[in-house]
Amino acid sequence: MISDDQKHYYLDLNSMKELPESHAWLSQADGCLPPCSSDHHLAIVDVPVIDLKEDPNAMKLIGHACKTWGVFQITNHGVPLDLVQEMESAGRNLFSLPIQQKLKAARAPDGGVSGYGVARISSFFPKLMWSEGFTIIGSPNEHARKLWPNRYHNFCDVIEEYKEEMNKLAQELMSLMLGSLGVTMEDVKWAAAGGSQGSTSRPGGALQLNSYPACPDPDRAMGLAAHTDSTLLTILHQNNTSGLQAHKEGTGWVTIPPIPGALVVNVGDLLHILSNGLYPSVLHRAMVNRTQHRFSVAYLYGPPPNVQISPLSKLIDQVHPPLYRAVTWSEYLGTKAKHFNKALSSVRVCAPLNGFADANDHNRVQVG
């Protein structure tokens, strides 16, 4: 049963004809201030699109994209497109279940991370977001059984296969992202593959499925509020519906348009730390629209949970002191759960020598 307390939390967004106050980020009187879903407020510059297989300069282009944007799109990435489609369909199936059914696989109330629920960053905001999510860490079996008692295998198989492909791609991307800094995977002991899928000594990832139903009042709603990812990198598939935006220093919010077959890659907080601040952990958000249901699947890639992550020694010298102290992924996730967008500055050890703002100082901007 849904308690009264949970009701406003778990509104069935698909059936709402009006935006409830609990989900209204802007009042009508505010007019169309940012966040605004109409594109004329947005800058006309594009996030780089890089052909991973055919472009001989891929490593250089990726390095440049990481430094200037912290996000880019990739084509020719080697992940079978029908697998991506199957993954999207599996997500659609899940979100189209009745709310009572989905709640059987709800995240555990005492801080559980796996399972169905509102955006996990919701607790930091006074208003609710126009989205629902499903987080998969480790095996999806337990939750899938609750959703489809008799036919959960297909869902689980697709998830496992998708995670395996994403893991391979993430390794390759790490190698390119580090490579353009003059660092090899061998320089970073834990980064070189070892152990089996799911082993705690191997870098791995979680899957985050997101659903953004069509919204009766998109200009006053927020799909997923601005945040940075607590990952090394994130690989995102979005269905053929716009909504994802990245924040670029000096430019503002930029829409990352869906390109059929392409995947979006963004730098997360831990790669920002590893790169000693050279790669910004990009602030991003998801907007909603009036007519189309938007889906996304994010692969959240991180190091083995208990390995110390600190600025790479190859990037440190007298002029470039380490800007961050060492943290493990587990410790950092705890810090993030407590301090949200102040987490990165809370592990920062010294101010930049040149007096310029850190690439992540824009995290302090207020949205809405």
Judged by CB under 5 A, the stretch of 95-103, 149-157, 187-195, 225-233 that binds Ni ion is 225-233
CB of 284: closest distance to Ni ion in angstroms? 6
CB atoms within 10 A of CB 251: 13
With the CA atoms of 21, 22, 25 and 29 taken in that order, what torsion angle do they form, in degrees rounded to the nearest 10? 20
CB of 259: closest distance to ligand OGA in angstroms? 14
294, 325, 348, 364: which is the annotated catalytic residue? 294
Which residues, 6+ apart, have CB-to-CB distance to 294 below 8 Å? 211, 212, 223, 238, 239, 241, 242, 243, 286, 288
Partner that binds at residue 231, options Ni ion, ligand OGA, none, CB closer than 5 to 8 Å by kind: none
Please tell me whether residue 229 binds Ni ion under the rule CB under 5 A: yes
Smaller CB distance to ligand OGA: residue 296 or 341?
296
Q: Is 294 a catalytic residue?
A: yes
With the CA atoms of 119, 120, 124 and 129 taken in that order, what torsion angle do they form, in degrees rounded to the nearest 10? 0
360 CA to centre of own chain: 16
CB of 315: closest distance to ligand OGA in angstroms? 26
Judged by CB under 5 A, the stretch of 12-20, 187-195, 211-219, 227-235 that binds Ni ion is 227-235
The sign one gets for the Cα dihedral 327, 328, 329, 331 is negative
Binding site for ligand OGA (CB under 6 A): 208, 210, 224, 229, 236, 238, 243-244, 284, 286, 296, 298
Judged by CB under 5 A, the stretch of 62-70, 229-237, 331-339, 359-367 that binds Ni ion is 229-237
The answer to whether 221 touches 23, Cβ cutoff 8 Å, is yes
Please tell me whether residue 219 binds Ni ion under the rule CB under 5 A: no
Both tokens of 207, joined, read 């899957």
Smaller CB distance to ligand OGA: residue 202 or 284?
284
CB of 261: closest distance to ligand OGA in angstroms? 17
Distance, in Å, from the CA atom of 95 to the CA atom of 284, rounded to the nearest integer, reads: 23
Partner that binds at residue 224, options Ni ion, ligand OGA, none, CB closer than 5 to 8 Å by kind: ligand OGA
DSSP sequence for 103-164: GGGBPPTTT--SEEES-GGGGGSSS--S-EEEEE-S--HHHHHHH-TT--HHHHHHHHHHHH
3-state helix, strand, coil in the chain (%, to 5): 35, 20, 45
CB of 224: closest distance to ligand OGA in angstroms? 5
Smaller CB distance to Ni ion: residue 258 or 322?
258
Please tell me whether residue 88 binds Ni ion under the rule CB under 5 A: no
Give the strands of the sheet with 284-286, arranged side by side. Answer: 224-227, 284-286, 244-248, 252-255
Distance, in Å, from the CA atom of 23 to the CA atom of 220, rounded to the nearest integer, reads: 8
CB of 29: closest distance to ligand OGA in angstroms? 29
**Residue ranges that bind Ni ion, judged by CB under 5 A:** 229
Residues annotated as catalytic (active site), given as ranges? 294
